[in-house]
Amino acid sequence: MTMPRILRVVQGVGLACSLAAGTASAGEPDGDDAYARRVLPLLERYCINCHMEGDAKAGLALDRYDDQAAALKDGKTWLRVLDALDGGTMPPPNKPRPTLAEIETVTGWIEHDYLAAQCGQGRPPAPVVIRRLNRQEYDATIRDLLGLDLKLAATLFPADDVGFGFDNVGSALNVSPVLVEKYLDAAEAALAAAIRPPDVAGFPPVELIGLQTYRLPPDKPVEFAHALKPGRYMVDFSLVRVGVEESVTPPKLVVGLGKDRRTVDAASVQDETVVYRYWLTVVDGDKSAFVTLAPGQAESENVVAPKQVGAAAGGDQRYGGDRGLHVDSMVVRGPVVVDEAGLPESHRRILFAAPDLGDAARLDAARRVIARFADAAFRRPTPADEVDRVMAVFRLADDRGESFERAVQVALTSILASPRFLYLVEPDAGSPGVDRPLDEFELASRLSYFLWSSMPDADLFEQARAGSLRANLREQVARMLDDPKSAAFVANFAGQWLQLRRLEGVAPDPDRFPGFDETLRAAMREETERTFAHVLRENRSILELLDADYTFVNPALAKHYGMEGVEGEGFRRVVLTDGRRGGVLTQASVLTLTSNPNRTSPVKRGQFILQQLLGTPPPPPPPDVPKLDDDKHAGDAVSLRERMERHRADPQCASCHQQMDALGFALENYDAVGRWRASDGEAPVDASGELSGGRAFSDVGGLKNVLRSTASKKFAQCLIKNMLTYALGRGLEPADFCTIEDVRSRLAGDGWRIRNAVLGIVESPAFQNRGVAP
């Protein structure tokens, strides 16, 4: 590429980005020449020779843009440049290296100008992919919906796939036929635990009719006295249809025990006994049972007048040869007296409306119960037609003779197996391709699944119904972070960002580390979670995650660390004075999960810092480069640092390992399970190193000082990127960089207090809008 051409491209990009951002870089002159003078010479000096079309290293060509428009459309190339410069992997060690100020010149241009153009004026955010609840969210939602902590997903569902570092990303949460069956199993199990239907297993049958048969019509209603005690009874009565043409529609009957009665369809099967089962309630003063035609049925054309049928004509003498419906028997079991105090809280919560006597009262109570449950389960008001569909399920179970409780149980199972429960649904409202603000109920769900991994609570629903949630977001965020349910945010966000979940699969060599057990493993994870929770609940600086003068230990972990004076049960906050601990990097959880089973791994530890804390992951190693020998006897003759230096001498390894190894060796005073040591075998530990830009340190304390002073911006960006990915449940796009920078500016302007990150994300258009696919 000729000099004029590259000059035009770089100048054009800088101008367009400045216009998109609305301002030029702070303290810099406006116009094309400012960018050309500052950025172009650095690209020419350090980059273009290796990254030009025809022979571009790593497939990254920086001279392939014909004009400004082409450069602005490519949101990926400059992001790769940004990551490489921030991570120190480029330029490689055998090439001239830019100073820290020169690196910041190029990265600052990309961040403040080029990426500002990618965001664009008024450009809508990318949409959130419709996604199902993951296992943690399913269990938490069932807990808050039913009031029962059943943990069904943890035992019934397969592990969720992970996308962009988190298991709540919609594009990774697939649904298999097996999972669909598991959802139904879980719904049935959840409601079986939540609702307790009445049981008559211990009651013997009592026959009310059986000495003779009764014909309907035209005989008078089958009515007789009984001496049943008040309570609920399961009633079985037998009916036979005799000598009635098949084309005749069976009439409706009324079955009752005193004041409680049901309207049912009569038998349509010819000459066979059909047993009906229903639940009826006897109240004080009820002394009669009856089976009769429903009002208006006696005159119906569907009812065939009686006709004497002789034996010669094949009449059934058992029923006197009469055509019609014959009641054979009525058998009851009961009484079941409901002890409200003995029912589980979940039962009383769901079945807040008890059925009164009669069909209408029963159906009305069922509809009220189903509608309220559906509103909560679907996380928004349920349209009447959807309630009707669930009511149809209730009617099927009710007509089959199930108790009110069991029929509701069956109906609610269909709700818990519905996509509207299993998925976080945000429809495009009939206007695909058009961005829109989330409605208040959608916003409530985004907020609750972000901070609680669960459904909205009563306060959020009330705010959404009143249309005031968006106006009161700050108060709601503060309330939710103060609530104990925000522990889910700590476990699910911090647990994945800092990879604490991986600690479950770590298995240190028991011969080398005999003191490592499950109790210590759990304590390691809890220390880090408590540290993050403390920063979050107390709204402290995010930089305390890098270094702090306190930590949280229990006696087992204190003994592991060599701390004295920690006795009794449970965790407590302790003040650190010796500089060996403080911040997640020096906690045993991170140190153990970034080690090999038999020794430390500076590479893994350095990669963890680059990827999880600074957001600049190194590229994967070339496939033909051998791994460093992990045999536990391999280090006897040569120190680990010397072996790493030999490994790094390979030009294919040098660019990545230069940064990773320096970071990892700073943590060499900690063994593979996070205990402090002054020597590795017979060799004293050398924890010194130097990062790109001449940033040198002598030990872990020096490294933490470097990270707090010169990498605070990258650390804040990395935290925000991960938190935004988790909050949205999707991978980030170049346009999201403006949101990240807006949030980072809020953090930097208020002492890096972590709640500014949460508020900045919640108040951003990316969080509050439906979004549109590019």
- CATH number for the domain spanning 232: value is 2.60.120.260
Instruction: Look at residue 681 and tell me if it is in a domain.
Output: yes
Instruction: Look at residue 562 and tell me if it is in a domain.
Output: yes
Of 290, 311, 337, the position where a domain reaches its end is 337
Residues 112, 225 within the same domain: no
Residues 109, 227 within the same domain: no
Q: Could you tell me the pLDDT band of residue 473, with boundaries at 50, 70 and 90? A: very high
Instruction: Look at residue 151 and tell me if it is in a domain.
Output: no
Of 686, 712, 738, the position where a domain reaches its end is 712
Higher pLDDT, 80 or 421: 421
The pLDDT value recorded for residue 705 is 93
Of 664, 689, 712, the position where a domain reaches its end is 712
CA 298, CA 325: separation in Å to the nearest integer?
A: 12
Instruction: Look at residue 741 and tell me if it is in a domain.
Output: no
Residues 544, 670 within the same domain: yes
Instruction: Look at residue 253 and tell me if it is in a domain.
Output: yes
Q: Among 290-299, 623-632, 753-762, where is mean pLDDT lowest?
A: 623-632
332-356 pLDDT tens trace: 999 998 888 889 999 999 999 989 9
φ, ψ of residue 584 in degrees (nearest 5): -65, -25
CA 699, CA 170: separation in Å to the nearest integer?
A: 42
Residues 706, 577 within the same domain: yes
494-509 pLDDT tens trace: 999 999 999 999 999 9
Q: Name the pTM for this structure.
A: 0.86
Residue 148 has pLDDT above 50, yes or no: yes
Q: Among 242-256, 528-542, 599-613, 649-663, where is mean pLDDT lowest?
A: 649-663
The pLDDT value recorded for residue 1 is 36
Q: Could you tell me the pLDDT band of residue 307, with boundaries at 50, 70 and 90? A: very low
| Whole-number CA gyration radius for the chain | 36
100-128 pLDDT tens trace: 788 888 787 777 777 777 776 667 888 88
pLDDT, averaged across the chain: 84
**Residue 222 backbone class (left: φ over 0; alpha: ψ -120 to 50; beta: rest):** beta
The pLDDT value recorded for residue 636 is 46
| Number of domains observed in the structure of the chain | 3
234-286 pLDDT tens trace: 999 888 888 777 777 788 888 999 999 998 888 777 778 888 899 999 999 99
Taking Cα atoms as reference points, which of 163, 156, 154 lies closest to residue 135?
154
Contact assessment for residue 747 and residue 716, using Cβ atoms and an 8 Å cutoff: yes
The pLDDT value recorded for residue 73 is 64
Instruction: Look at residue 624 and tell me if it is in a domain.
Output: yes
630-679 pLDDT tens trace: 444 444 445 666 666 665 556 555 556 667 888 999 999 999 999 999 99
Taking Cα atoms as reference points, which of 477, 441, 496 lies closest to residue 134?
496
Q: Residue range 468-475: average pLDDT?
A: 97
Tell me, rounded to whole angstroms, the distance of Cα 13 from its chain centroid.
39
CA 318, CA 450: separation in Å to the nearest integer?
A: 71
Taking Cα atoms as reference points, which of 434, 390, 437 lies closest to residue 416?
390
Q: Could you tell me the pLDDT band of residue 169, with boundaries at 50, 70 and 90? A: very high
Residues 115, 247 within the same domain: no
| Domain that includes residue 22, residue range | 3-119
The pLDDT value recorded for residue 25 is 36
Residues 95, 230 within the same domain: no
Residues 515, 622 within the same domain: yes
End-to-end CA distance of the chain: 31
Q: Residue range 535-541: average pLDDT?
A: 98
Q: Which residues contact 722 (CB under 8 A, 6 or more apart)?
A: 165, 166, 493, 497, 615
Instruction: Look at residue 568 and tell me if it is in a domain.
Output: yes
The pLDDT value recorded for residue 70 is 59
Residues 663, 567 within the same domain: yes
23-40 pLDDT tens trace: 333 333 344 433 455 666
371-418 pLDDT tens trace: 999 999 999 999 999 999 999 999 999 999 999 999 999 999 999 999
Instruction: Look at residue 354 and tell me if it is in a domain.
Output: no
Q: Could you tell me the pLDDT band of residue 729, with boundaries at 50, 70 and 90? A: very high
Residues 114, 252 within the same domain: no
The pLDDT value recorded for residue 210 is 65
Q: Could you tell me the pLDDT band of residue 164, with boundaries at 50, 70 and 90? A: very high
Residue 12 has pLDDT above 50, yes or no: no
The pLDDT value recorded for residue 634 is 42
According to DSSP, the β-strands at 288-293 and 252-257 are antiparallel
The pLDDT value recorded for residue 74 is 67
Q: Could you tell me the pLDDT band of residue 225, with boundaries at 50, 70 and 90? A: confident
Residues 233, 104 within the same domain: no
